[in-house]
Amino acid sequence: MPKVRAPKKLIEVALPLDDINAEAAREKSIRHGHPSTLHLWWARRPLAAARAVLFAQLVNDPGGERGYKPGMTKEQAQRERERLFDIMRRLVKWENSNNEEVLREAREEILKSWRETCEMNKGLPGFDPDKLPAFHDPFAGGGSIPLEAQRLGLQAYASDLNPVAVLINKALIEIPPKFAGRPPVNPEARSKMGLLEEECKGARGLAEDIRYYGKWMRDEAFKRIGHLYPQVELPPEHGGGKATVIAWLWARTVKSPNPAYSHVDVPLISSFWLSKKKGKEVFIQPVVNGDRYSFTVVSGLATGNLKEIDAGTTWVAENGRKIKATFKCIVSGSPIKADYIDEQANCGKMGFRLMAVVVQGRHGRIYLAPDVIDVDSLQREIHTYFCRDPHFAPVFGLVFIFDRNFDSTRGIG
């Protein structure tokens, strides 16, 4: 079988690393329009770096195998590299992500190199000079690499073992191309277009539909459950006035395993932290009085014990590590083991207790103690609302949220 010849690629010789690194670092501060805002992914690669590396892997080095091609001196080869580097410097800029002139220039260089490779392997299967090879990424993660492969003109295929990554890649590289150039279908846009359908550049039509139907769903949700997120009075330390509730933070409860306190519903909380942002730390501080307890909200770390805040009501071993699925009774200190929690759940004795209220302040979120609201009335209203449908089985102890950007599940048991 004839041996496949692979020319030396630009990435094997040199790269404008300083320019690539600068753009990759700058990209971290860009939010509007960036794929990272679609869904959080723990190891997302910078688009600038992915674009640059792909370009350098696909483009042949001007020097050939020995540093220069026949008929080209080393100085000429270096000048040609600098020309390619200049394309890369413009290609990695965020502002040029959809710059057709820059992208066309990059795609032409990629196609030119591919045709050179096909000429070297003439007659071998898979080397079609008019068709670029497909790009496959079986562990695509946040989708940066297949997205940039698609942007550079390759047909990209991506997957992952993690279903979240699969969903991200569907939204990034599978769905938009299917609707590229197609007009929006929502009634508002259709009424403006009239009889003639306007051509929409890229996925703008799809984006307009997503915005329209997303707003429709939000409005419908507000009609149905907006009354569960009223305005509350802010305490003086937060400037007074009123603010809208955006989340209720609840804890699951079970009956205390201590016979002396078996009538008390005690919380299962994996951490008392509400916010760990540096300089804006907020945590819950329980106040126990006999067989009663309440929750207060504390800002700052002056009065907090970090180990106790981290632990919540979980059972902590002598070595300082939390014991999985084991908690401590907040009023008696007795251990609450996993099998006891299962027993309480199976008997229908698990409940819920409001720990904190989150409101939208003028300069961000504000965390308030539960006493800003009539908790009993709220619980009755929630129970009434969710039990109107006999086929609906409410799962209490969860966080009720009406803010799409709010991540409140961390640290709440």
Q: What is the full per-residue pLDDT of the chain (413 aa) written as tens digits?
A: 678 888 999 999 999 999 999 999 999 888 888 888 888 898 899 999 999 999 999 999 998 765 456 667 888 889 999 999 999 999 999 999 999 999 999 999 999 999 999 999 998 998 999 999 999 999 999 999 999 999 999 999 999 999 999 999 999 999 999 998 888 999 988 888 754 456 677 888 999 999 999 999 999 998 988 888 888 888 888 888 899 999 999 999 999 999 999 999 999 999 999 998 888 899 999 999 999 999 999 988 766 688 889 999 999 888 888 888 899 999 999 999 999 999 999 998 899 899 999 999 888 899 999 988 887 787 777 777 766 655 544 444 444 444 434 443 333 33
By DSSP bridging, strand 231-233 and strand 351-361 are: unpaired
CB distance 269 to 253 below 8 Å: no
Query: Within this chain, do residues 247 and 223 fall inside the same structural domain, yes or no?
Result: no
Task: Give me the residue label for tokens 């496959």.
Answer: 136
Query: Which residues is 275 bridged to in the sheet?
Result: 282
Greatest Cα-to-Cα distance within the chain, rounded to the nearest angstrom: 95
| 234 in the same domain as 205 | no
18 in a structural domain: yes
Q: Are residues 206 and 239 in the same domain?
A: no
Q: Same domain, yes or no, for 64 and 83?
A: yes
Q: Give the alpha-carbon dihedral of 309, 313, 315, 318, to 10 degrees.
A: 30
Rg over alpha carbons for the chain, rounded to the nearest Å, is 29
From first CA to last CA, the distance across the chain in angstroms is 63
- Please report whether residue 77 resides in a domain: yes
Spell out a b/e string for 153-167, using b for 16 or more CB atoms within 10 Å of the CB, else e: bbebbbebeeeebbe
The length of the chain is 413
Asked, for residue 101, whether it belongs to a domain, the answer is yes
- Number of domains the chain contains: 3
The verdict on 266 and 386 lying in the same domain is yes
Domain membership flag for residue 185: no
Question: DSSP assignment, residue 127?
Answer: -
Q: Tell me if 190 is assigned to some domain.
A: no
Tell me how many degrees the CA angle 179-182-186 measures, rounded to the nearest 5. 95
Q: Which helix (H) or strand (E) holds 355?
A: strand 351-361
My answer on whether 155 and 234 are in the same domain is: no
Are 254 and 349 contacting, i.e. CB atoms less than 8 angstroms apart? yes
Whether residue 139 is found in the same domain as residue 245:
no
Note down the domain range covering 224. 200-228
Is residue 36 situated within a structural domain? yes
CA distance 233 to 398: 24
- DSSP label at 238? G
CA atoms of 264 and 345, how far apart (whole Å) = 16
What residues contact 390, with CB distance under 8 A and at least 6 apart? Answer: none
Residues 214 and 254 in one domain: no
Closest CA to 103 of 117, 88, 116, 123: 88
Do residues 214 and 308 share a domain? no
In a domain, 192, yes or no: no
> What is the C-alpha to C-alpha distance for residues 213 and 207, in angstroms, rounded to an integer?
10
128 Cα distance to chain centroid: 39
Range list of β-strands (E), 223-321: 231-233, 242-255, 265-268, 273-275, 282-289, 292-299, 314-316
Question: Do both 317 and 368 map to the same domain?
Answer: yes
Let me know if residue 191 belongs to a domain.
no
pTM here? 0.69
Q: Are residues 238 and 378 in the same domain?
A: yes
Q: What is the residue whose two structure tokens read 């259709």?
A: 190
Same domain, 135 and 258: no
pLDDT, residue 389, reads 58
